[in-house]
Chain A
Amino acid sequence: MGERVHVRTNINGDAADFLCEPRQSLLEALRDILGLTGTKEGCNDGNCGACTVIMDGRILDSCCVLAVEAEGKTITTIEGIAPLDGLHPIQQAFLEEAALQCGICTPGFIVAAKALLDREPDADEARIRHWLAGNLCRCTGYDKIVRAVLKAGEMMKQGPAIGQRAGVLGGKAGGTEAGKSVEDVYMA
C-alpha cells in the first residue's frame, strides 16, 4: 500500500478533497472514497463508457484516469447533472422516451450526451451515434437512446424551464427500494 495522497478537486460544484492511494483510479475514488456510486464500472479498461464523467469540459472514462490526476480539476458526475428542483432535459427525455431498460449504462450515456448537447444542441442522428459510440448498451438497441438525445437537444434549445419540471410522477414515485434493509443505512 503506497502512501496516501491528498487530492483537491471540485466535484458537481462543490470543493471535494480526498485521500487516495496513487494506484487508485478516479472511478475508484468517486465510488469507494467519495460514495458517488452513480458512476458505474462495466469494464475498467476504457471500453464501455459506463464510468463517463466530465473533467474540465471534456468527457473521459474515469476508470482510465488516476485519481491523483484529478488534482485541481473540475468534475461533473451523473449526480451533478440535475438542477436542484427537477431533472435535466436529457434525464427527462430518457424517461419520456423509455431510453433505459436495466439502467446501468444510463449515467454514462447521460453524462456523455450532456457534453455533446452543451456544445451542439442541434446534433443530428449521425452526430449523436458517432459521439456515443464509446458507450455500450446491451439492453436497448440504442434506438430509444438516440431518440431521447435528439429530443433533449430540442428541449434544451427551448430554454432551461423545461428541464425543471419537478416530480415526473407527481411526487409519488415508487423509486428503487432494492438493496435497502435494516443493516444497510450507509449512503453518500
Chain B
Amino acid sequence: MTITGERGVGASRSYKVVGTSPIRHDGVDKVTGRARYGADINMAGLLHGKILRSPHAHARIRSIDTSKAEALPGVRAVATAKDFPIVQMQELDFGGAQRNSRMMADNDLAYRKVLYQGHAVAAVAATSPHIAEEALELIKVDYEILPTVLTWKDAMKENAPLLHESLTKRFTMDRSSQGKDTGVRSNVASQIQFKLGDIEQGFREADVTVEREFTTQTVHQGYIEPFACTASWGPDGRVTIWTSTQGIFGIRETVAGIMDIAESAVKVVPMEVGGAFGGKGIGYMEPVAAVLSKKSGHPVKMVMSRKEVFLGTGPTSAAFMRCKIGADKSGKITAAKLHLVYEAGAYPGSPVGGGASTGLSAYKIDNVLIDGYDVVCNKQKTQAYRAPGHPQAAFAVEQVLDELAEKLGMDPMDLRLKNVARQGDRAPTGVPHARVGFKEVMEAMKAHPHYSAPLEGINRGRGIAVGYRLNGGGSGSSATINVNADGTVNVITGSMDLSGTRVSIAMQVAEVLGIAAEDVLPQVVDTDSVGWTGGSGGSRITFDTGRAAISGAEDVLRKMAQRAALLWDVQAEDVQFKDGVFFCAKNPKDKLSFKELAGKLMATGGPVTCSAMDKQGGVGAQLAGNIVDVKVDPETGKVDILRYTAFLDVGKAVHPAYVEGQIQGGTLQGIGWALNEEYFFTPAGAMANSSFLDYRMPTTLDLPMIEAVIIEVANPRHPFGVRGVGEGPIVPPLAAVANAVYRATGARMYGLPMSPGAILEAVEEQQPKKR
C-alpha cells in the first residue's frame, strides 16, 4: 500500500486537522463538573486517611506511641514506616536518584529521622476525616531535636551537621549518569561539570567582562488540586489505587517496591489531574494508603490539605548562581563561566543538572566552564517544576547578558543574535545541536511590534530574555487503536492528560486516518489496560505518545488496505490511500472512504485493532523568548506588568489554542516566581506562609492579556515536527521581568522574588552608582 503525502518533516506540508483548534474531547465533562479528579471518589466502606507531620525541621525519632490513637472509636488502622516492608529489608541508600523506592519510602513516612518540617511520621485511617485528625493528636512521638541545616549555605559550611551519615559526594560530567562516588561524606550529594575549550584564554580575549551573583528562593508548582488518592487492598493480595498523578506506571513501580509485591499485583487507575507541572511526577500517599488499606481491610482515601501540599510535597530548589561572561568589542562571547548551587531539600536530586545543561546552551561559546552542585538541607525534598532547574540558570545568564549589552553599547537582542547557536554547534554539554529554531525565535522577537513600540511615561521599563529548554530523556509510550464499525476509532493510552493532550493525540491520529478529530475518541486507561507508558512530563506527550499513536494509525491503514484488497480481489500493494479514501490503483472506480471500509470489517475478517509503542531519545531543544513592559511604583516598589509578549518555537502547533494556553500559563508561573512567590522559613526551619493567602500566586488582577507568539521550526524527530510546549514558557520570565525592572528603576535585581520591599532596597542601595 502506498500512503500518499503522509510522512516527512516540514512545515511545508499541508494539514487537514493538525493546526486547527477543535473542542477537546474531555471538555464537556470538565465544564459541567462531571470529570472526576483525585478526590472525587467514593465507595462502600471507604475510610479516610490522615498523616501526622513533624513539627521539627531536623530530629531523630526515638519512639512513636500510637496506642491511644488506635483506641479511639472510629479508628481502623495506624501506620508508621515500620509497616513498609522495604524499610525492614533495606537501609536507606541514594542510588538511582529519582526512582529509588527506599528513599521514597523514607520521604513518605520517616523512619529514623525527620528531615524537614512537615515530614510525614505516622498515618491513621478512620471512618471520617475528622476522627482521623483527632487520632493524630493522640500519637506521641519522642523527638531528639538536631541542629537545623536550612540552606545550601549552611549545608556547605565546613563541619556542617550531616543530614545523612551515609551520603557521599558523586562527580559526573553527564547529566544522565550518576558519575563516580568520591567517597567524601558531605551534604553535597553531587557535582556536575561541563567544560569546553580553554576558559582562561577565553577570558583573556574578552574586552568586556561581567560577573554577578544571583539567588532564588524555594517556590511551589502551585497546582490547585491537592494530592489525593484512594487504595483498596484485596484479599487476593492485589491492590488497586485511584490517584491523580503524572505517571500511573511510576506509581505502580513505587508501591510495588515499597510494599514488596509484584508490579503486576498493583493496578493504578488514573483520575483527572488538577494541575501538576512536574510536582505530581511521584506520589507521596499511595504507599501509605495501601498500608492502611491492607491493615484495615477497607479502601482508604487520602486527600492533602493545602498546608500539607506546601509542607509535605516537593517544591523546586532555592538556588545560588554565579555567572561570568566575557565578550570582545564586536559582541562575540569569548568565554562563559556558570557556577550553580541548587538545594535538593531532604534527599539528593535537585534539578541542578537541568540548569547546568541549559543555562548557556542557546549560544555558541567556545570556552565554557559550568559547575553544578546538588546540596541537601532541611527543607522539603524538591521535585520537578516545569523545565526543572532551567529558570534559575536563565535568571542569571540572561541578566548578565543584559549588562554586557549595555556595557558594549549593543542592542540586547543583537548581542544574543550575534552569539546564537545553530545546528551542528556544540552545546556546553558537548552535544551538537540538532535543527533548532533559536535564531528564528530571536528574529521574531526583534521584528515584533512590541520590541520597537514606544514605551512612554516614567518608572517604566522594557525587558527581554530568552530561555533554552532541553529534554534529552524520553521514557516511552504505548497506544492502542481500535476501529469501530461506525467509522470512529478509539485511541487508548496511558498518558495522563494534564492540559489537553487527549485532543492533541487524537488530532494526530485523525490526520493520519483522514477523519475528523471528533471521530477519534481518546481514552486514558489504567495500568492493566495499556502497555507501559512513562509519565506525562518533559513536554513529551504530544510528541512521544503522539508518535506511538501515529505509528498505530499507520498500522490501521495497512490492515484496512488488506481488507479493501479482499473486497476488490486485488493485492494489498494495489490499494492506495489518499485524503481519507482507499482506492484501487488498477481500477480507480473501486474506492471506499475510511468510514465505509470501517463498516465492512466484520465481513472481511473481523475487527481491526493495532497497538504500537514509541521510545525516542527525547523531544530535544527549543527556545522561548519574552518581551515585557513594567511600571514600578517608586513609593511602594510594586511592579505592574503592562504588556507581555511570549514567544516559543513549538516545532508544529497541533492545537494552536492550547499551545497558546501553555505559553500563557507558563508565563504566569514565571511572573509569580519573579515577583511574589517564596517559602518564608523561620530560623528553626518552619514554613511561615503555608496558605494561598500568604503564598501569593498571580490573580486575574495581576496580569494583562498575554500575547503568545507561536514559531514553527519543525522538529526532525517527529513526523509532523512537534517539539512539545509545556515547559519552555517558564524559562525566560524571571530574567525578562528583572531586566524590565532594571530599565524602569536603574536597579539590578540579583535576588528573587522582586517583592516591593526588595525593589525599594535595591533602588536605595544602587542609586548612587547608577544615577
Contacts and interface: CB of A to CB of B under 8 A. Distances in A.
B367 interface: no
B28 A95 contact: yes
Contacts of A133: 699-701
Contacts of B480: none
Interface in B271-288: 271-277
Contacts of B74: 1
B226 A178 contact: no
Contact of B43 (A37, A39, A40, A183): A183
Given A21-B130, A168-B23, A179-B40, A78 B306 contact: no
Given A40-B37, A177-B525, A96 B25 contact: no
A176 B31 contact: no
B665 A172 contact: no
Contacts of A176: 26, 29-30, 34-36, 272, 524
B706 A143 contact: yes
Interface string B216-232: 00000111111000001
B697 interface: yes
B28 A169 contact: yes
Given A37-B33, A42-B226, A169 B25 contact: yes
A103 B523 contact: no
Contacts of B270: 178-179
A107 interface: yes
A143 B705 contact: yes
Contacts of B523: 174, 177
Given A39-B33, A103-B272, A141 B706 contact: yes
Interface string A75-116: 001110110000100010011111011111111001000000
A175 B35 CA distance: 8
Nearest to B708: A143
A27 to B, nearest CB: 11
B668 interface: yes
A47 interface: yes
Interface in A125-149: 125, 128-130, 132-146
Interface size class of B (residues with CB under 8 A): 35 or more
B528 to A, nearest CB: 8
Nearest to A43: B306
Interface string A42-58: 11110110100000000
Interface stretch (B204-212, B514-522, B608-616): B514-522
Contact of A175 (B26, B276, B506): B26
A181 interface: yes
Contacts of B697: 136, 138
Given A87-B32, A130-B701, A138-B275, A47 B691 contact: yes
Nearest to B35: A176
A67 to B, nearest CB: 13
B306 A101 contact: no
A38 B522 CA distance: 22
A175 B29 contact: yes
Nearest to B303: A41
Contact of B665 (A101, A181, A184): A101
A136 B692 contact: yes
Given A146-B700, A172-B521, A174-B522, A37 B705 contact: no
Nearest to A92: B31
A170 interface: yes
Contact of B502 (A87, A95, A107, A174): A174
B25 A78 contact: no
A35 interface: yes
Contacts of A50: 224
Contacts of A105: 224, 274
Contact of A102 (B499, B519, B691): B499
B32 A91 contact: yes
Interface residues of A, number: 75
Contact of B524 (A98, A168, A177): A177
Given A101-B658, A101-B665, A170-B518, A45 B273 contact: no
A173 interface: yes
A40 to B, nearest CB: 7
Contacts of B533: none
A186 B36 CA distance: 12
A134 B693 CA distance: 11
Among A1, A45, A178, the one with the most B-chain Cβ atoms within 10 Å of its Cβ is A178
Contacts of B272: 102-104, 176, 178-179
Contacts of B131: 1
A130 B27 CA distance: 26
Nearest to B228: A41
A157 interface: no
B2 interface: no
A32 B42 contact: yes
Given A42-B306, A103-B274, A176-B272, A142 B703 contact: yes
A23 interface: yes
Contacts of A183: 43, 232, 240
A52 B458 CA distance: 40
Contacts of B660: 98, 143-144
A100 B270 CA distance: 19
A97 B23 CA distance: 9
A112 to B, nearest CB: 11
B222 A178 contact: no
Contact of A38 (B34, B520, B526, B706): B34
Nearest to B498: A102
Contacts of A23: 130
Contacts of B225: 40, 42, 102, 104
A139 B661 CA distance: 8
A170 B23 CA distance: 11
A146 B701 CA distance: 11
A144 B699 contact: no
Given A40-B37, A40-B225, A179-B41, A103 B30 contact: yes
A1 B221 CA distance: 36
Given A133-B700, A138-B665, A45 B306 contact: yes
B262 interface: no
A76 B36 CA distance: 19
A35 to B, nearest CB: 7
B102 interface: no
Contact of A142 (B25, B522, B668): B668
A184 B41 contact: yes
Contacts of B724: none
B128 interface: yes
Interface in B642-677: 655, 657-658, 660-662, 664-665, 667-669
A77 B700 contact: no
B39 interface: yes
A50 B655 CA distance: 27
Contact of B664 (A1, A48, A91, A144): A144
A87 B34 CA distance: 13
A135 to B, nearest CB: 7
Given A96-B23, A139-B275, A168-B27, A42 B224 contact: yes
B563 interface: no
B32 A38 contact: yes
Interface of B: 21, 23-37, 39-44, 74, 128, 130-131, 221-226, 232, 240, 242, 267, 269-277, 303, 305-306, 488, 490, 496-500, 502, 506, 518-526, 655, 657-658, 660-662, 664-665, 667-669, 691-693, 697, 699-701, 703, 705-706
30 contacts: A37-B37, A37-B42, A41-B303, A45-B306, A47-B693, A79-B33, A98-B657, A100-B31, A101-B500, A102-B224, A102-B225, A102-B272, A102-B499, A103-B30, A136-B692, A138-B222, A138-B277, A140-B661, A140-B668, A172-B518, A173-B27, A175-B29, A176-B36, A177-B525, A179-B40, A179-B242, A180-B269, A181-B240, A184-B269, A186-B43
Interface of A: 1, 21, 23, 31-32, 35-45, 47-48, 50, 77-79, 81-82, 87, 91, 94-98, 100-107, 110, 125, 128-130, 132-146, 168-170, 172-181, 183-184, 186
**Closest 4 interchain pairs by CB?**
A38-B33, A104-B274, A141-B664, A103-B30
